[in-house]
């Protein structure tokens, strides 16, 4: 994909580097010549010096052929303007970083397909790490209506040796939850399990569930057999 990134700040550069690693073609637009030079020399991306809300700069950067655009500029008003221009030029995927929640609806009206609140993400991540220290990682989807968590399976927990199908049929396993990923050992890839997959000690599971049952999931998966 050809991706335009508006803003060569920390987030813009980190995003560009990640996209390059994923084999996408990336172009950055920023008014700072030093940041643009760094992007070219250190990241190997195309960097266009100029305003990311300037039609001339966007055309020079190839907005007409862009498959996606990420607006990560310093304030919401600029990101909103960039999203509006991206929609005008027919960019199919428009992502914006939102700093203030008041901009959520304007971003949608402007054509943003993904609105990402950096503050909400940070707060949610830290709160979850405090509330659920057993959870290795957690993601939220559909405005928090769906949660995906990664849990380790200790050697002495009660689910060791049980199949995914057996666990799914257990009345103590919260309804609406599903094991969607399984990593037998830390050095192995994450697999998509089937009903016959047996959970081994020191393995890891990826579970999709609904809000409000996190403690039940943890107690069930990591409960000791003793």
Of 32, 48, 38, residue with least CA distance to 17 = 38
User: Are 18 and 5 contacting, i.e. CB atoms less than 8 angstroms apart?
Assistant: no
Q: Domain 2-121 in CATH: superfamily?
A: NAD(P)-binding Rossmann-like Domain (3.40.50.720)
Domain ranges of the chain: 2-121, 132-222
Confidence check: pLDDT of 142 > 60: no
Confidence check: pLDDT of 13 > 80: yes
Q: Class of the 132-222 domain?
A: alpha beta
- The string of pLDDT tens digits covering residues 164-204 is 999 999 999 998 899 999 999 888 888 999 999 999 998 99
- The string of pLDDT tens digits covering residues 61-92 is 999 999 999 999 989 999 999 999 999 999 99
The pTM score is 0.67
User: Are 96 and 123 contacting, i.e. CB atoms less than 8 angstroms apart?
Assistant: no
Angle at 3 between CA 81 and CA 104, to 5 degrees: 35
- 2-121 and 132-222: identical CATH topology: no
- Locate all alpha helices (DSSP H) within 139-226, ordered by sequence: 164-168, 214-222
């Amino acid at each position: 994909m050809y991706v335009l990134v508006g803003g060569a700040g920390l987030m813009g550069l980190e995003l560009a580097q990640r996209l390059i690693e994923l084999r996408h073609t990336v172009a950055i637009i920023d008014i700072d010549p030093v940041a643009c030079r760094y992007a070219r020399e250190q990241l190997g991306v195309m960097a266009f010096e100029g305003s990311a809300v300037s039609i001339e700069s966007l055309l020079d950067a190839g907005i007409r052929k862009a498959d996606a655009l990420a607006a990560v500029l310093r304030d919401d008003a600029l990101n909103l303007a960039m999203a509006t221009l991206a929609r005008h030029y027919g960019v199919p995927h428009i992502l914006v970083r939102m700093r203030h929640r008041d901009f959520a609806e304007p971003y949608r009206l402007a054509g943003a397909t993904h609105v990402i609140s950096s503050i909400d993400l940070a707060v949610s991540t830290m709160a979850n790490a405090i509330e659920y220290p057993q959870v290795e990682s957690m993601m939220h989807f559909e405005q928090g209506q769906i949660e995906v968590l990664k849990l380790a399976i200790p050697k002495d927990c009660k689910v060791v040796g049980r199949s995914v199908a057996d666990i799914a049929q257990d009345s103590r396993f919260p309804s609406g939850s599903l094991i969607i990923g399984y990593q037998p050992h830390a050095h192995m890839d994450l697999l998509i399990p089937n009903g016959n997959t047996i959970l081994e000690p020191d393995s890891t599971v990826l579970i999709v569930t609904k809000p409000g049952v996190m403690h039940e999931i943890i107690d069930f998966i990591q409960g000791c057999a003793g």
